[in-house]
Structure 1
Amino acid sequence: MTTSRDWLGWHEAYADPASLLSRRLAVVQERIGEVLDAAAPGPIRLVSMCAGEGRDLLGVLDGHPRRADVRGRLVELDPQLADRARRRAAAIGTDVEVVTGDAARLAAYADAVPADLVLLCGVFGNIVDADVARVVAAAPQLTAAGGTVIWTRHRSEPDLVPTILGWFAAAGFEPVWLSDKSNGYGVGVHRYTGVPAALRPDETLFRFVGSG
Structure 2
Amino acid sequence: MDWAAWHDDYDDPASALARRLDWVRAAIRTWLETAPPGPLTVISLCAGQGRDLIGALAGHPRAGDVHALLVETDPRNAACARDAAGAAGLTGIEVVQGDAGRTDQYADAAPAHLVLACGVFGNISDVDVSATISACAALCREGGTVVWTRHRRPPDLVPVICEWFETRGFARVAVTGDGFGAGVHRRVLPAARLAPGVRMFTFRDRR
TM-score (norm 2): 0.98
1:13/1:21 contact within 8 Å kept: yes
Match of 2:134 in 1: 137
Q: Secondary structure at the match of 2:108?
A: coil
Query: Structure 2 unaligned runs (5+)?
Result: none
CA distance in 2, matches of 1:92, 1:14: 18
The alpha carbon displacement at 1:7 in A equals 0.6
Q: For 2:143, give the aligned amino acid.
A: G
Q: For 1:93, give the aligned amino acid.
A: G
1:111 maps to which of 108, 114, 117: 108
Deviation digits for residues 41-77 of structure 1 (CA, Å, limit 9, x no counterpart)? 1001100000000000000111000010001200000
The alpha carbon displacement at 1:140 in A equals 1.0
1:188 maps to which of 179, 183, 190: 183
Is 2:175 the counterpart of 1:147?
no
CA distance in 2, matches of 1:20, 1:70: 28
Is 2:29 the counterpart of 1:53?
no
Q: For 2:3, give the aligned amino acid.
A: W
Q: 11-20 or 115-124: which moved more?
A: 11-20
Q: Secondary structure at the match of 1:124?
A: coil
**Identity in percent:** 51
CA distance in 2, matches of 1:103, 1:202: 12
TM-score (norm 1): 0.95
Deviation digits for residues 75-126 of structure 1 (CA, Å, limit 9, x no counterpart)? 0000110011011112222211000000000111111111000000000000
Match of 1:38 in 2: 34
Is 2:101 the counterpart of 1:92?
no
Q: Secondary structure at the match of 1:164?
A: helix
Match of 2:13 in 1: 17
Match of 1:211 in 2: 206
Deviation digits for residues 158-205 of structure 1 (CA, Å, limit 9, x no counterpart)? 1101111110011100000011x3x12111000001111121120011
The alpha carbon displacement at 1:211 in A equals 2.5
Q: 4+ residue runs of structure 1 moved beyond 2 angstroms?
A: none
Q: For 1:164, give the aligned amino acid.
A: I
CA RMSD of aligned residues (A): 0.8
Is 2:161 the counterpart of 1:161?
no
Q: Secondary structure at the match of 1:125?
A: coil
Query: Structure 1 unaligned runs (5+)?
Result: none
Q: Secondary structure at the match of 1:209?
A: coil
Is 2:8 the counterpart of 1:29?
no
The alpha carbon displacement at 1:8 in A equals 1.2
1:156/1:184 contact within 8 Å kept: no
Q: For 2:188, give the aligned amino acid.
A: T
1:47/1:73 contact within 8 Å kept: yes
